[in-house]
A and B are shown apart, each in its own frame.
Chain A
Amino acid sequence: MSNLETHNLSLRFGNNDVLSDVSLSVEAGGFYAVMGPNGCGKTTLLRCLCGLLEPSSGHVSIMNRDVRSYSARQLAQTVSVVRQHASTDLEFSAFEIVLMGRNPYQHRLENESQSDWDIVEDVMRMTNTWHLRNSKPNQMSGGELQRVMLARALAQQTPIMLLDEPTSNLDISHQYEIMSLLQDFNLKQNKTILIVVHDLNLAYRYCPELILLYDHKLLYQGPIQDGLTPSRISSVFNVKASISDGNIITSSFLQRPTADI
């Protein structure tokens, strides 16, 4: 069953095509890496998928329903989003920020229940942010804040998660930790996960599926082993590439002049 579909999705800002004619279909329970060079439309695709951007043409459907027919509340119970940049000027503590993830399940005048608190404690322990619960965003490092944002998305308990470079500010051990955590959620709770990553090896190791964008178009969708071939990597990312023992090794085409500047 497909969980998330786009049909001929196009988006134009002024005269620039940001996405052109993207049709893809995301299977329920899939773990997809969304990849492509800078500026190829990855973030825009994610924002269209969760209804934050209205496409110029084409449409998005989630669980076989047009995304525009969802109320904000229903959508927040179905899709959670971790954005690339989190605002640091909030005065709320990390605990309160993660608690906001429970909003789609609460009535407006209702306070958080015990079960909301338990869920928040759970996800904060999983993302290794529990010790930060009383800190404010401006007291945290970029990586810590990213993990808090991930905790909030997990607290939403949605079947679909869209993550825009959630590992960009993380050190290598936290990158692995977060990817394994997502893998766990994917395997045990059958969550559908779309994640924008730049690290080819990270994607190769954790994500079975690949959505590859190039020049605002969908270049490839399918199993990552078939998608990330050395020749395709080298044409899309403009680097030399080879694969050995399941590791992607890349190097620049440009020969750096020896240091005599």
Chain B
Amino acid sequence: MSPKLKNTTSIHRFRLWPTLIVLTLLLLAASVTAALLGIAKIPSSQLLSSPIFLQLRLPRILLSILAGAALSVCGAAYQSVFRNPLTDPYVLGISSGASLGASLAILFGLQSHIWGIGLCALATALITVWIVYRIASIGNRLHTTTLLLTGVCLTFLITAVISFIMVLRQDKMDSIIFWTMGSFASASWFDIAVVAPVVLIGICVVLYFAKDLNLLLAGSETAKSLGVEVEKVKRILLFFTTLMIAFVVSSCGVIGFVGLVVPHCLRLILGPDNRRVVPCSILGGALFVLLCDTLARTVLQPSELPVGSLTALVGAPMFIYLLYKNKKKY
């Protein structure tokens, strides 16, 4: 083997593990900081026995980690399945679709059952995915503009329906912010117990198909002639990503742009290979959302910012930048 070959291929191999280790360390540091920050000052020596830490901050930290990991992995998966760098669960309207089901479940009095909320969210999110996919794929090709516009319009439509539902139930008016901007304020151990297994399964499925995601980027026909069962793989991936989104949205509302920001930043370091991007997205997404949530609850104490507004502050400019960068293509 020529030394140059070693060089080409080892660049990428070298970068996966160091990136994972750095991200893990950063995530640990961010978690400790988040645990210590807050209105109630807890001395670090009593942290582990403090009920504020155990019942409020720790579940909140864990839920933001789970949500961040799930959303950015879904973003990475969608960008390959739809062959479009601008897609993520929020832009495609799938998060909103999930929030519709969740708020309908609450309207009909299911609010004490996160499983019930989650399954209703899953049903409406799956319908949304189906609509987006059908409208966007005319003939055999996915049309980028149609795809994005469909997602945006569905978000408008669903937000309108949800605000209507909220007016019907005036006592729950507050939560419109929750469903459009997201919040981890109500995180509980019960949420973790439900969301964690769903997210873990979903992430494992996406990791399992990481190589197929690379081939899907080359186009459906090419992927098929290189041995990918394209339709089957797409269906499995869309189902499990939607499942993750449904349960994340049921527990913390709609948080946008995570799936756009994180995989893109990682691709700058790691290149396009999903076998590197997806694993790092787990940690990167967790870190990003945890930081946003910690900022959201500490910058304007005692009031709290919606976490989705912070992710949008980073994500929306990035979306516009990507649109600008890709404008020749579309």
Query: Which residues on A are within 8 Å of B, measured CB to CB?
Result: 47, 50-52, 71-73, 75-77, 79-81, 83, 87, 89-93, 95-97, 100-101, 103-104, 106, 108-109, 111, 114, 117-118, 121, 133-134, 156
| B272:A117 contact, CB within 8 angstroms | no
Please tell me which stretch of B195-203, B218-226, B291-299 contacts chain A, meaning at least 4 of its Cβ atoms lie within 8 angstroms of it: B218-226
B:207-222 near A, CB below 8 Å: 208-209, 211-212, 214-215, 217-219, 221-222
B224 touches A117 (CB 8 A): no
Could you say which of A87, A100, A114 contacts B226, with CB atoms under 8 Å apart?
Answer: A100
Q: State whether A79 touches B2 (Cβ < 8 A).
A: no
State which of A51, A83, A92 has its C-beta within 8 Å of the C-beta of B273: A92
Q: Within the complex, what minimum Cβ distance (angstroms) separates B225 from chain A?
A: 4
**Choice from A80, A89, A111 contacting B329 with Cβ under 8 Å:** A89
Nearest chain-B residue to A134 (Cβ)? B8
In which size bucket is the chain B interface?
A: 20 to 34
Q: How far is the CA of A108 from the CA of B5 in the complex (A)?
A: 23
Query: Is B271 in contact with A91, judged by CB distance below 8 angstroms?
Result: yes
Q: Are A80 and B218 in contact (CB under 8 A)?
A: no
Contact residues in A for B302 (Cβ distance below 8 Å): none
B224's partner among A72, A114, A134 (CB-CB below 8 A) is: A72
- A111: chain B residues at CB < 8 Å are 275
Q: Given contacts A100-B226, A104-B226, is CB(A87)–CB(B273) below 8 Å? A: no
| Docked-complex contact B209 and A108, CB < 8 angstroms | yes
B9 interface contact, C-beta 8 A: yes
Asked, given contacts A83-B221, A121-B2, whether A76 binds B9 with beta carbons under 8 Å apart, the answer is no
Q: Which residues of B contact A89 (CB under 8 A)?
A: 329
A179 vs chain B, min Cβ distance (A): 22
| Measured CA separation A92–B329 after assembly (Å) | 17
CB of B222 within 8 A of CB of A75, answer no
CB distance from B6 to the nearest CB of A (A): 9
Residue on A nearest B225 in the bound complex, by CB: A81
The interface of chain B, by Cβ under 8 A from chain A, is 1-2, 5, 8-9, 208-209, 211-212, 214-215, 217-219, 221-222, 224-230, 267, 271-273, 275, 329
Contacts of A77 in B (CB 8 A): 227
Residues in A neighbouring B2, C-beta threshold 8 A: 121
Q: Which residues of chain B have C-beta atoms less than 8 A from A79's C-beta?
A: 225
Distance between Cα atoms of A80 and B222 in the complex (Å)? 10
Please give me the 5 A-B residue pairs with the lowest Cβ-Cβ distance, nearest first.
A76-B227, A104-B227, A91-B272, A73-B227, A81-B225
Pairwise interchain contact A50-B267, C-beta atoms closer than 8 A: no
Q: Are B214 and A92 in contact (CB under 8 A)?
A: yes
Min CB gap B117→A, angstroms: 34
Residues on A with beta carbons closer than 8 Å to the beta carbon of B222: 83, 87
Residues of A within 8 Å of B225, CB to CB, are 50, 52, 75-76, 79-81
Cβ–Cβ < 8 Å partners of A106 in chain B: 211
In the complex, which of the residues B5, B218, B230 contacts A90, with contact meaning CB atoms closer than 8 Å?
B218
20 interchain pairs, CB-CB under 8 A: A47-B221, A73-B227, A73-B229, A76-B225, A77-B227, A83-B222, A89-B329, A92-B218, A92-B273, A93-B8, A96-B273, A97-B218, A100-B218, A100-B226, A103-B211, A108-B211, A111-B275, A117-B1, A117-B9, A118-B1
Q: Are B1 and A72 in contact (CB under 8 A)?
A: no
* Alpha-carbon gap, A238 to B218, bound state (A): 38
Q: Which residues of B contact A114 (CB under 8 A)?
A: 1
Residues of B within 8 A of A134 (CB): 8
In the complex, chain A residues whose CB is within 8 Å of the CB of B224:
51-52, 72
- Most B C-beta atoms less than 10 A away, residue of A72, A80, A81, A104: A72
Distance in angstroms from A197 CB to nearest chain B CB is: 20
Most chain B CB neighbours (cut-off 10 Å) among A47, A79, A96: A96
* Cα(A213)–Cα(B312), bound, Å: 56
Q: A104-B227, A108-B211, A108-B212 provided; 16 other pairs, C-beta below 8 A?
A: A72-B228, A72-B229, A73-B227, A75-B225, A76-B225, A83-B222, A91-B217, A92-B217, A92-B271, A92-B272, A96-B273, A100-B214, A103-B215, A103-B228, A104-B226, A121-B5
The distance from the CB of B153 to the nearest CB of chain A, in whole angstroms, is 25
Q: With A97-B218, A100-B214, A118-B1 as given contacts, are A109 and B208 in contact (CB-CB < 8 Å)?
A: yes
Q: Which of B8, B214, B217, B221 contacts A133 (CB 8 A)?
A: B8
> How close is B87's CB to chain A, nearest CB, in angstroms?
14
